[in-house]
Structures are given as structure tokens and as C-alpha cells.
Amino acid sequence: MQTLGKPTRALGGAFTLCLALVASPSLAQEQAAPPQVEPAPAAPPRAVAGAPTPSVSSYRINSGDELEVYVWGEERLQRQMKVLPDGTIAFPLVGQLRVAGQLPQDVERMVSERLRPQYRGEVPVVTVTVRQAAGMRFSVIGKVRSPGVYDTSRYINILEAIGQAGGPAEFANMDGISVIRDEGGTLKSYSIKLSQLFRSNVNENQLRNAGILQIRPGDVIIVP
């Protein structure tokens, strides 16, 4: 059980203010020793006319996301696919890859490494694009104004998630919030205490001390 924040009894009209503040990372060698030979570096991806420079993204892939995997100069190796519930995709000449939790550029490297035995020279440029981020889904239940299942196109924190559910309802216990999360097939519970933030004149020090949790896909937020 992980406890974040310090409990207070304040509740009410400062929710919008809290949300705005949070939304606004030389040793000698023996003579008999043979000389060290540096291993040859791996061949870089083969440049192909018109191929883009692989992008850098901070988005981590989730189950349900729609991906486009493209091997430039190889029309047979272009696929659009959804990430399966177990977090994997299947790609020609590569096989099954576990991509959930990976960055797009990580998947590009994984595909390139799996393709390397298929080429005598350099591997063509591989690009991975998230066409639709359908996996960013979470639930909010309990004493909120609009409980339900929500989708978002970006990562959000616990305050923003409760805000999407309309904010806390009357008599909600903001020091008793639980977040249920699936971590590698094991359900874990996180205890959240936010009442100190639901008052006027919230400052940066209070926000830091609250240790506001970032929501992950599939989280269930319970507001008692």
C-alpha cells in the first residue's frame, strides 16, 4: 500500500484552482596481456530515398492502440495493426513482439534487430507510428459527479482524472481515494490523500508534498 500526501479536512471550491496549478523529468596492464579489440559497431539502418528521420516520442504504447509499422523500401513490410490485449503485435519476418509500455522508437529498434538476419547489408529504416491512441482509458467510480469510463489522448494525473468525472460530489472523502492498477497481471492498490489541495490559496509546496499520482491506462479510481 502506497500513501501519497497528508490528510486535511478541507474540501470544496478549490478543485478548479488545483487542477490549473497541476496542469500549469590509468590502470597499468600486464605486458603479456593481448591488446583489447573493440567490437565492430552494428550497421546503422540503410538510408532509403524519401525515408523520414525516425521520430522521438514520449508516448508509451498501450493495449488497444493502433500502430503503423513501415520498413522503408519494402512494401511487403508495411502493416497497420492493433496492439492485442496481451500487449503484443505480430509482424512479418519478426514474429511476436511485446510492445505495451514501450516507446515507438523502442519498437523501431526491436523490429530492426529482428530483421537484421534477413539482410546481408544494412537494415532499412523502420518507422513506428501511433495512429490512434485508443488504450488511454480509465474509470472513475464512487462519489464524483459523473462516474464512468473515460478516454484521453494524453497522460493525466489523479486531479485531472477526477476533473473529467465532474469533480468530487458532496461528502466525498478526498483522503480515502484508491487507485486500482494492473501491474504485470497483479492488481495493486494505491491510497491517495488530496483533501489538503481542496482549499483556497494552494501553493507549490503543497502540490509537491501531495505527490500527485499519474494515471495509467486501465486504472480504476475509487472516490468513497
CA distance 12 to 170: 8
Determine phi and psi for 112, rounding to 5 degrees: -60, -45
The domains found in the chain, sorted by start residue, are 2-21+135-223 (3.10.560.10), 66-132 (3.30.1950.10)
User: Strands, DSSP E only, in the chain?
Assistant: 2-4, 66-71, 78-82, 88-91, 95-98, 126-132, 137-142, 148-151, 177-183, 186-192, 220-223
Percent of the chain with pLDDT over 90: 43
What are 156-203's pLDDT values in tens digits? 999 999 999 999 999 999 999 999 998 877 899 999 988 888 777 788
Q: What's the pLDDT score for residue 21?
A: 54
Q: What's the pLDDT score for residue 12?
A: 47
Using an 8 Å Cβ cutoff, are 24 and 65 in contact?
Answer: no
- Using 50 as the pLDDT threshold, list the residues of the chain that sit under it: 1-12, 25-44, 47-49
Using an 8 Å Cβ cutoff, are 196 and 6 in contact?
Answer: yes
Cα–chain-centroid distance for residue 67? 15
Say which residues have a Cβ less than 8 Å from residue 58's Cβ, sequence separation at least 6. 103
Q: What's the pLDDT score for residue 89?
A: 96
CA distance 173 to 166: 15
